[in-house]
Amino acid sequence: MNLLAVDIGNTDIKFGIFRNGTLTEQWRATGTRTHPEKFSALLRDSLAKTGAEFGALVYTSVVPDIEFVFRKTIQYCFNLPDQRIFAVNPQRIQLPLDFSRYPLEQLGMDRLVNACSARLLFPDTALIIADFGTATTLDLVDTDNNYLGGAITPGLRTFSESLSLKTARLPDISVANKTPQALQMGTNTVACLEAGIGIGYRGLIKELMAAAEQELAGQEVMCIATGGLAVPVIRLCGLDEQFQVVDPMLTLKGLYQLYEYNRKAENVHSS
């Protein structure tokens, strides 16, 4: 049975179709902050264009206002019964990690899914998971399967856009395609912005990663990068050797992993 995985974020909705456990199709749609009726139409159009077929759905959302519309749209358009719809709710599902150190009502479900996904995929080491998107988040897992929390900071694009939004004369620029070697102190406004944003963000990420590694001192650590901006941030910050795994689709894969983890747990309990 094909599985549709959906990650509803603050900016984009990411979709993936899993066939026999393999992510075979993936796409995204922009507009999660739209009116519910517009969101419903966006959702229907996005799924219809792919022609994808699926018999079950697993999803997570960091935008509670549209979750009800999303679920009802899927049920109406694809005749999926409730038992074929799996929402990532930590109060109702089995988790492979101990989250007792963090108030679950405050934890974004994308962070929870990333941490669980990384643990299920890499069971033998401590983990640092960096998710580069609208926000950049770091999540830490120790070798005893304890979720230790992490850090949240503005994403690279959010970091950059804040200057043009909050000032009258500074332009909006992008440093996503820059490299560490291309960044130096500027002699005009744009170059100064590139230096401040690029070098500043590089320092921010390196300091956060160093603090995370110190938190897990004495343990073998695997560093994983994910999110839509993972590749440009790693290039900009010169972090190629810092991350052993770069997988922008980790959250989608984590949804599948959690679905299977819970399906197997149900089979064990019912046998």
Which of the residues are catalytic? 110
The SS3 of residue 228 is: coil
- The number of residues making up the chain comes to 271
Q: Edge to edge, what strands does the sheet with 85-87 contain?
A: 22-30, 12-19, 3-8, 56-61, 85-87
- For residue 262, the surrounding DSSP H or E stretch is helix 250-270
What share of residues in the chain are helix, strand, coil (percent, to 5)?
45, 25, 30
User: Residue 207 burial (CB < 10 Å; 0-12/13-18/19+)?
Assistant: exposed
Retrieve residue 196's tokens: 């401040």
